[in-house]
Amino acid sequence: MPGPFVVTGLIGRKRDGGELRQDEIAWLIAAYLAGEVDDAQMAALLMAGVIQGFSVQEAVALTEAFVASGDRVDLGGLHGPTVDKHSTGGVGDGTTFVVAPLLAALGCQVAKLSGRGLGHTGGTLDKLESIPGFTVDLAADRFRDQVNDIGLAVAAATGDIVPADKRLYALRDVTGTVASPALIASSVMGKKLAGGAQHVLLDVKVGDGAFMPDDAQGIALAKLCVSIGNAAGRRTGAVVSDMSQPLGDAIGNALEVALAVETLRGEREGRFRRLCLDLAASALELTGVPADAATQRAREALEDGRALERFRRLVEAQGGDPRVVDDPWSVLPRAPVVRTWSPGDGVIARIGCRRLGELAGQLGAGRRRQGDRVDPAVGLELTARVGDAVSAEEPVVRIHARSDADADAIVSELAQVVAVQDEPTDPVELVHARVGVG
């Protein structure tokens, strides 16, 4: 471990707008894990950095320190290009279930370590576990062998992957230091770099339902993440996409799996399908495929059923019931109460994306705190988007609830979440910017 350094001196320099060197940051993170720097000192340094800002070089150094704090996944020797896709989180975002099989069907090796949901954003692992029998806890050898065999595995990250980030994030959460682009980027990229893939595509969300509220902040985060990845020798790109309204028609664990399967089966159109194809093509482009060819190959793999078959192999390999591919609702859990709601006649003018995610969580689809149980059956379906004309006779929201009382509580909120107007309004653009792709 480099150093030692005087921690109060580092805090003071950061407080006054100075920059910390790579060796100083490496020492700080290692000393914090070892207990030589305490929570109060690290919180003070984080707050100084949030106020003064961290440089790109500091973000790169922090990411390197995160990766060095734990294990790394060794993907060397796999027979195709290794690819990872990461979303910064949102509402109704189950793109992994379409994009990962698409990439595997196109010859990529997708070794994806995912997490669980917290707050208004859903978790990939929770959604997959709504498939009966599906396990996300894979030993390292099994994880690697499965990727080598079918080109795809989705598993829970162990506590030995970037432990410094987990420890630091818990401190940031209780000290008001989450909202820092450099800290967010280092957290995201630390996990991606430790995951071992040589090609990393980021889906950076912007809007009401995302951590980045507007394009400027989203693009800045995307550029920083791409800089960190490229500095580490990984081919990295980013798509900045809209989260001012839910991405897919479903918000909830089993509901989102069903949507993904129906998309893979060619039974769904719309924003979700379009973004899945865009992300798959962008990731393929990072591996060296020209953009036009990548778009065509992704569309063909979705339309000819190769991606669907790869998803079936994923489910089978991880112990899930493969009948979910043929008839999702023959195996997925259903909520006992389904209620419909409409805002009346007009054109959809606004959808409170974050609030819809919170309401799905209120039904039991998400967690308020780590350790809470999720109900895989409950959630919301949204059948219209901003700019769509609707009538009072057509349901715009379907509520999947555990009880009538739960459904009533959601209905009482929806008029403040989904608004209509008489005048036409333009639909919202799906992709706002690209960094390093397209």
Among candidate residues 93, 165, 203, 375, the one labeled active-site is 165
Under 8 Å CB-to-CB from 145, ≥6 apart: which residues? none
Asked if 431 and 278 count as a contact pair (C-beta separation under 8 A), the reply is yes
- The question of whether 367 is a catalytic residue gets the answer no
- The question of whether 187 is a catalytic residue gets the answer yes
Q: How far is CA 418 from CA 70, 119, 167, 410, in A?
A: 45, 20, 38, 12
Among candidate residues 14, 84, 85, 86, the one labeled active-site is 86
- The question of whether 403 is a catalytic residue gets the answer no
- φ, ψ (nearest 5 deg) of residue 28: -55, -50
Asked if 157 and 114 count as a contact pair (C-beta separation under 8 A), the reply is yes
Which residue type does 129 have?
E
Under 8 Å CB-to-CB from 103, ≥6 apart: which residues? 83, 85, 110, 151, 152, 280, 283, 284
- The question of whether 86 is a catalytic residue gets the answer yes
Among candidate residues 172, 199, 223, 268, the one labeled active-site is 172
Q: Are strands 337-341 and 346-351 parallel, antiparallel or unpaired?
A: unpaired
Cα(27)–Cα(1) distance, rounded to whole angstroms? 6
* Helix 22-34 / helix 56-68 crossing angle, nearest 10 deg: 40
Among candidate residues 112, 144, 191, 310, the one labeled active-site is 191
Among candidate residues 187, 227, 244, 342, the one labeled active-site is 187
**Residues annotated as catalytic (active site), given as ranges:** 86, 165, 172, 187, 191
